[in-house]
């Protein structure tokens, strides 16, 4: 490992401090796109592990899709402000986890089309990598529902890591 001028040499095996400049001189910034549900836990764990190994900061981005909150007839089944408040509470738990693990964590909760908003967040926040979960719906699910992760892979301005959920072993 080559030392950055003006900084002390780290001890071998010691991860760099959060936000420490990487090889290009800029701090590494990971963006975790998540709905903060149990289904996205694998992506969240992977993001924390990678951020810890790289000494990167972690930006948690959660997008509220208003279309997913609509009932037939156009009425909302739950108010967007209620969803936003719940997402902010859940994101704050991740900020606390980051403090415990020595990882700088911040979060954004936006409203809009999830695929487009994740790409926009990656651009505007200058993410070095996006981590996004996959619900594993397969080809039929993508055909009917579309795929946020596929959209992000195709349009993000940086590398994208798609994390599949861990499979639970079958009980005998």
Per-residue tokens: 77? 């089944």
Per-residue tokens: 124? 């505007």
pLDDT for 4 beyond 50? no
Q: What is the mean pLDDT of residues 130-134?
A: 91
Per-residue tokens: 35? 């709905």
The answer to whether the CB of 103 falls within 8 A of the CB of 52 is yes
**Domain chopping of the chain, boundaries:** 29-163
Number of H helices, E strands in the chain: 5, 5
Per-residue tokens: 83? 């969803």
Q: What is the mean pLDDT of residues 127-133?
A: 96
What is the per-residue pLDDT across 133-166, written as a single tens digit (0 to 9) for each? 886 555 554 443 448 999 999 999 999 999 988 7
pLDDT on residue 141: 47
What is the per-residue pLDDT across 21-62, written as a single tens digit (0 to 9) for each? 444 545 699 999 999 988 889 999 999 999 999 999 999 999
pLDDT on residue 60: 98
Contacts of 65 (CB under 8 A, 6+ apart): 111, 112, 113, 114
Average per-residue pLDDT in the chain?
Answer: 82
pLDDT for 97 beyond 60? yes
Q: Does domain 29-163 have CATH number 3.60.15.10?
A: no
**DSSP for 130-153, written as a single string:** EEEE----HHHHHHHH--HHHHHH
pLDDT for 111 beyond 50? yes
Q: Residue 41's CB: how many other CB atoms inside 10 A?
A: 15
pLDDT for 14 beyond 50? no
Contacts of 151 (CB under 8 A, 6+ apart): 115, 116, 118, 119
């Amino acid at each position: 490992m080559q030392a950055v001028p003006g900084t002390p040499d780290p001890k071998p095996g010691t991860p760099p401090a959060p936000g420490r400049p990487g090889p290009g001189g800029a701090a590494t910034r990971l963006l975790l796109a998540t709905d903060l549900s149990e289904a996205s836990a694998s992506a969240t764990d992977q993001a924390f592990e990678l951020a810890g190994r790289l000494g990167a900061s972690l930006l948690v981005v959660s997008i509220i899709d208003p279309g997913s909150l609509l009932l037939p007839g156009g009425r909302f089944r739950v108010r967007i402000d209620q969803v936003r408040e719940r997402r902010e509470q859940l994101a704050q738990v991740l900020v606390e986890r980051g403090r415990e693990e020595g990882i700088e964590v911040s979060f954004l909760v936006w409203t809009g089309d999830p695929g487009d908003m994740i790409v926009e967040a990656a651009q505007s926040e200058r993410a070095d990598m996006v981590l996004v979960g996959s619900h594993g719906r397969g080809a039929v699910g993508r055909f009917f529902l579309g795929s946020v992760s596929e959209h992000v892979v195709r349009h993000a301005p940086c590398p994208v890591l798609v994390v599949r959920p861990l499979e639970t072993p079958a009980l005998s």
